[in-house]
Chain A
């Protein structure tokens, strides 16, 4: 069984935000919620780098470890999804996540945040695949249609890769070998407990 992962090649990302826009449009993500975002470090300075970040669907996901209601579940493909009907919006996962992935729809009385929302790897939620209720709560389920997440499919420079971890790692290694440098598969050690040595 494939283990699905994300990989962002910071030497290729041009901060065009197409991944962010594709994600929002595909999943009808409301204003103010960012399942995916592009982070730029050293903006305007030599060595500037941008990286596209979302839920990395970690191995031994810290969000799942701290969730008091056990709303998270893993899929056979290695994805980390959650059940919004169980979520109580406590925000523990937000503090546990090393990537800032969990998002909350509102700021309310007594710290009420609403149900947590995050990247589903375009794989919907626990309801029946591609049903209207699934779309309303979680957005598209492209995976059930045999498609990869739209953010990576839309990436103009193919900086953002999605798919079987072994395949995308091989693509990245080939790139690094050919161009002679690579700033590393950012976040892989944190998310998947493994580096990507070439």
Chain B
């Protein structure tokens, strides 16, 4: 296979969440990218990295900033980023800064969803004991949580999650169905379930895995008394404002953050939300996909070529790529067609071409990081170059090609610092427009890098999982040492050492994953009678050899036990050669049973899914990627016995 991949062109590499859900998750992804770069499979038709997403708009939700390390569209968390978004939202920077406990906290990444329960259970800095690293790097523990569209049973270490949920002062679950969050802990007070519309009961843009945006129109009025996400957030912001008024606090949410959002009654319009995205997201080229352009694509779907994704000549969408895949640079008026293939130097930048981004500086250890001998078709600069700023435009003598309104916008927002205004913070889009007129990529023309010098393991290396049956490999391939990240302690080698003592009692490698019938946490799909009928019982796949040595028959009940928190799950055995000897697999979509207990009685009447079952993540264990804190769901240890 390696030879085929290296010699046959084009080749593409497809992966999904699984590759990332490891203690070496980002290293895996970087290794894949390096493989594609080394084999010359980037930037052309039919090649490249294709990362498939599991749900509608997962890509879009990530882009608009649910990652706790960045403001929307990957601007980061530094002051420049905050000032940029304050300009977009029309909110004074000082007002935004005043919302934080200390000025430093404004730039500190938040707490990832994989660790919320640790943040509830750990003391904050105020209650920290001398010499104890087991604390949260903020004033207090996590006290309240609002969960929008998140299953809960998709996160590892559920016995710890149950304890964390019990300890929260306030829990709000906003979802079309009551999720595992709603029933896992036996909460009686200060727990709210907000019924939220499904994607078919609301409108808005949705981004697919290929970065294309589609306009989704409301298919039906909400069937139940639910509200869509926009209205729920708008009304929450309003309630916070009223509470702040009563307490004479200066902070305002609805009054300050919806200035450019059209609201009818209590309903913010999806179109105006996308327009605000367009106004601020120059960094990733979400700026050209106006609601009007997306709706035009939806109305002319028949005019796009199914292979090239291009609109056919002589149609209203001629030349555009379907869904204006980001980056769709500049303003909507610039009519950029979107970028179907990233880093394609065979096209003009105004036609969807591109370069590798010059985002790691211009040189390192005396060697240039800018491109050499490579530029996009039609570029006036036939060499590498750094990112465009006003200063760069001036040096090139192109500054006066900016229009008067573009210059006025730059003057207004940057004043004396105008030279430092960059293509990604220029709200007029003028810097991008001028650079592209000259065939240049405003984000620079650099080299791709295989050596990520600012990350742990700059070049990916093998590291044994935290819980491994091959303890003989730990010395040579240890996981990373204990450290801190995301306000939390992040244990590595100290937990990995447990493999030496638990291996005998938990000899089977357990991995988890998806089923075709169910989606994510599964509440929505397990509530659908057609799908529920196809998968009626939570199960564990076990190899016939392992089943025989344990006296386990196909279809019988078994207990799966794990090496942390005395975890156990009662599931049915699926004896199959789908898994090899010594390996077991469990799907992660089930919930509503916990360590042998049926929690059906905890769902509000009539809202319980048809199928309930133990969650695979009751058994999964500690282990996080060092950069993203993505959880280790793919490798742990377990034991299986007849129930």
Q: Which of B207-215, B473-481, B529-537 contacts A (4 or more CB under 8 A)?
A: B529-537
Instruction: Judge whether B517 is part of the interface by a CB distance below 8 angstroms.
Output: yes
Instruction: Judge whether B576 is part of the interface by a CB distance below 8 angstroms.
Output: yes
Q: Check B530–A44 contact: CB distance below 8 A.
A: no
Q: Check A31–B533 contact: CB distance below 8 A.
A: yes
Return chain B residues, CB-CB under 8 Å to A25.
530
Give the distance to chain B from A53, nearest Cβ to Cβ, in Å.
Answer: 15
Instruction: Judge whether A13 is part of the interface by a CB distance below 8 angstroms.
Output: no
Q: Which of A15-23, A107-115, A140-148 contacts B (4 or more CB under 8 A)?
A: A15-23
Return chain B residues, CB-CB under 8 Å to A16.
516
Give the distance to chain A from B578, nearest Cβ to Cβ, in Å.
Answer: 4
Tell me which residues from 611 to 637 in chain B have a Cβ below 8 Å from any Cβ of chain A.
none
Distance of A86 Cα from B533 Cα, bound (Å): 30
Distance of A45 Cα from B543 Cα, bound (Å): 12
Q: Check A31–B516 contact: CB distance below 8 A.
A: no
Bitwise, B564-579 to A at CB < 8 A (1) or not (0) is: 0000000000001111
Closest B residue by C-beta to A31: B533
Give the distance to chain A from B516, nearest Cβ to Cβ, in Å.
Answer: 5
Q: Check B529–A31 contact: CB distance below 8 A.
A: yes
Return chain A residues, CB-CB under 8 Å to B517.
17
Return chain B residues, CB-CB under 8 Å to A32.
533
Q: Check A17–B516 contact: CB distance below 8 A.
A: yes
Q: Check B576–A44 contact: CB distance below 8 A.
A: yes
Bitwise, A19-41 to B at CB < 8 A (1) or not (0) is: 01100110000011000000000
Q: Check B576–A21 contact: CB distance below 8 A.
A: no
**A20-B534, A21-B534, A44-B578 as given contacts; A15 in contact with B529, CB under 8 Å:** no
Give the distance to chain B from A27, nearest Cβ to Cβ, in Å.
Answer: 11
Q: Check A15–B578 contact: CB distance below 8 A.
A: no
Bitwise, A38-65 to B at CB < 8 A (1) or not (0) is: 0000011100000000000000000000
Give the distance to chain B from A68, nearest Cβ to Cβ, in Å.
Answer: 32
Tell me which residues from 528 to 576 in chain B have a Cβ below 8 Å from any Cβ of chain A.
529-531, 533-534, 576
**A15-B516, A17-B516 as given contacts; A45 in contact with B577, CB under 8 Å:** yes
**A16-B516, A17-B516, A17-B517 as given contacts; A24 in contact with B576, CB under 8 Å:** no
Return chain A residues, CB-CB under 8 Å to B530.
20-21, 24-25
Q: Check A21–B531 contact: CB distance below 8 A.
A: yes
Distance of A123 Cα from B517 Cα, bound (Å): 27
Q: How many residues of chain B are within 8 Å of chain A by beta carbon? A: 11
Give the distance to chain B from A96, nearest Cβ to Cβ, in Å.
Answer: 27
**A44-B576, A44-B577 as given contacts; A17 in contact with B529, CB under 8 Å:** no
Return chain B residues, CB-CB under 8 Å to A21.
530-531, 534
Tell me which residues from 133 to 180 in chain B have a Cβ below 8 Å from any Cβ of chain A.
none
Closest B residue by C-beta to A16: B516
Distance of A16 Cα from B577 Cα, bound (Å): 19
Return chain A residues, CB-CB under 8 Å to B576.
43-44
Return chain B residues, CB-CB under 8 Å to A17.
516-517, 534
Closest B residue by C-beta to A33: B533
Give the distance to chain A from B220, nearest Cβ to Cβ, in Å.
Answer: 15
Give the distance to chain B from A40, nearest Cβ to Cβ, in Å.
Answer: 10
Give the distance to chain B from A14, nearest Cβ to Cβ, in Å.
Answer: 8
Closest A residue by C-beta to B541: A44
Distance of A24 Cα from B517 Cα, bound (Å): 14
Interface centre among A24, A25, A44, A45 (most CB of B within 10 A): A44
Give the distance to chain A from B162, nearest Cβ to Cβ, in Å.
Answer: 32
Give the distance to chain A from B336, nearest Cβ to Cβ, in Å.
Answer: 32
Closest B residue by C-beta to A32: B533
Distance of A24 Cα from B531 Cα, bound (Å): 10
Give the distance to chain A from B583, nearest Cβ to Cβ, in Å.
Answer: 12
Return chain A residues, CB-CB under 8 Å to B578.
43-44
Return chain A residues, CB-CB under 8 Å to B529.
31
Distance of A21 Cα from B533 Cα, bound (Å): 10
Closest A residue by C-beta to B533: A31
Return chain B residues, CB-CB under 8 Å to A20.
530, 534
Give the distance to chain A from B198, nearest Cβ to Cβ, in Å.
Answer: 16
Give the distance to chain A from B234, nearest Cβ to Cβ, in Å.
Answer: 34
Distance of A16 Cα from B529 Cα, bound (Å): 16
Return chain A residues, CB-CB under 8 Å to B577.
43-45
Distance of A32 Cα from B578 Cα, bound (Å): 26
Interface centre among B516, B530, B531, B579 (most CB of A within 10 A): B530
Give the distance to chain A from B430, nearest Cβ to Cβ, in Å.
Answer: 45
Distance of A20 Cα from B532 Cα, bound (Å): 12
Return chain A residues, CB-CB under 8 Å to B579.
44
Distance of A100 Cα from B577 Cα, bound (Å): 26
Tell me which residues from 126 to 181 in chain A have a Cβ below 8 Å from any Cβ of chain B.
none
Distance of A165 Cα from B490 Cα, bound (Å): 63
Distance of A139 Cα from B414 Cα, bound (Å): 66
Return chain B residues, CB-CB under 8 Å to A31.
529, 533
Give the distance to chain A from B146, nearest Cβ to Cβ, in Å.
Answer: 33
Give the distance to chain A from B581, nearest Cβ to Cβ, in Å.
Answer: 12
Distance of A32 Cα from B534 Cα, bound (Å): 10
Distance of A134 Cα from B576 Cα, bound (Å): 43
Return chain A residues, CB-CB under 8 Å to B531.
21
Give the distance to chain B from A63, nearest Cβ to Cβ, in Å.
Answer: 25
Closest B residue by C-beta to A24: B530
Tell me which residues from 48 to 78 in chain B have a Cβ below 8 Å from any Cβ of chain A.
none
Give the distance to chain A from B404, nearest Cβ to Cβ, in Å.
Answer: 53
Closest A residue by C-beta to B531: A21
Distance of A8 Cα from B630 Cα, bound (Å): 41
Distance of A32 Cα from B516 Cα, bound (Å): 20
Closest A residue by C-beta to B544: A44
Contact residues of B with A, CB < 8 Å?
516-517, 529-531, 533-534, 576-579
Q: List 14 A-B contacts (CB under 8 A).
A: A15-B516, A16-B516, A17-B534, A20-B530, A20-B534, A21-B530, A21-B531, A25-B530, A31-B529, A32-B533, A43-B576, A43-B577, A44-B579, A45-B577
Besides A15-B516, A45-B577, 11 other A-B contacts (C-beta < 8 A):
A16-B516, A17-B516, A17-B517, A20-B530, A21-B534, A31-B529, A43-B576, A43-B577, A44-B576, A44-B577, A44-B579
Instruction: Across the A-B interface, give the 10 residue pairs with the lowest CB-CB distance, nearest first.
Output: A44-B578, A44-B577, A24-B530, A44-B576, A21-B530, A16-B516, A31-B533, A45-B577, A25-B530, A17-B534
